[in-house]
Structure 1
Amino acid sequence: MIWQRVPPESGAAVMGLGVMSVAGHLAGFPVLSAVLLVVAAVLWALLGAAFLARLVFDNERWRPEAGRPGALTGVAGTGVLGLALVLHGWCTGWIFLVLTALLWLGLMPRVLRGLATPTVGVSFLVCVGTQSLAVLAGQLAADARSPFLLAVCAWMADAARLLLWPALLVLCLTAWGTIHHLTTPKPSP
């Protein structure tokens, strides 16, 4: 089956296309943005089907793959695609927010349990997946002009400020791990 050959990191393609669609929209290239959005949406649906097929029919393989940082490309791709849809006027943003949050809640604990030190660059997906959820939530809150949602976002921003120093520490450790990994000579065979 084709879904067995799709690695969990494939969500990076949706993430990249979604980012380019958002950038095209913000830069004033609506046709390019719309084309990239359609390609990202089709790819997201295909990868989502592969993710669900693996979850249902090959759970033994799904569990360790869901614990790899690359699996968070699915979270980031879903959040960025939701943001692009919102910017294009689609009313599906809340659905994508729920999907992104569910993916984040399901995958993030697995990834965090499996992180080893020193870490490498792919570990930054822990931040990227979380950021895609936050950006989509913030955009929806601003669009809704809801005092309650804006208050929740403000509270989350305050909580984020409290977590800034530990997050910077993790960021520095990740950067150091990546630099160490790239500069450490590999033994010759």
Structure 2
Amino acid sequence: MAQFSTLLWISFFSVLLFFVLYFSRVSIDKFLEKISPFPYLRENGHYGGTIEDITYEGMVIKFFFISILCSILVFFFSDINIFTNIGLSISFLLPGCMLLLRIHTFSDDNILSETGMGYNPTHCWILSFLAGAFCLVIGFSGLNFSNIPLYIPIITIAFALLCSMIPIFPDYINKLLSYDIRSEKGYLTLRIITAVAIFIQGIVFAFFSFFVL
């Protein structure tokens, strides 16, 4: 009953938060443009419009604040254990912080004229989250079990952090390819690399389960 009440509260708050953010999106865009030292709206872009109206730098700023918000909310809506919450919180926070640190890479200046595509921060944030979340949650959760050797969750966390970093460095991956990653083929390659990283994390999870069961 308690779990159902928690789920109901999370669902209600999530819907409420969505509507608040949606109807205040114009004000949010104006605020972010005001505090951003980088170009926020593209030429002829509209406040509260689609992501096409916002520069890559603007999306980096927006994802940074989204990451902070999500990483904080995790501790209010998840009552599994503190270690799991920490792992999930870092999964949200890390991509946003890394994008901000590499904002000059995730810039409209790096859009390839031949394809009209650049190092897309939206795409890379999602892939980074997916690549790291699984093992970060598992690794930090493992710190809560006394029957698991300490080196296992530490290695798992380190591996998850490494996987999460891969989509944040598309320009480095680009140097290893015979084609430009700023293309449909290139982003397909980045998705495949992320999928392989997630698959390997599944193997890590299977190994982890032997100590828990």
**TM-score of the superposition, structure 1-length normalised?**
0.30
Higher relative CO (CA 8 A, sep ≥ 6), structure 1 or 2?
1
**TM-score of the superposition, structure 2-length normalised?**
0.27
* Bigger Rg over Cα: 2
Higher helix proportion (structure 1 or 2): 1
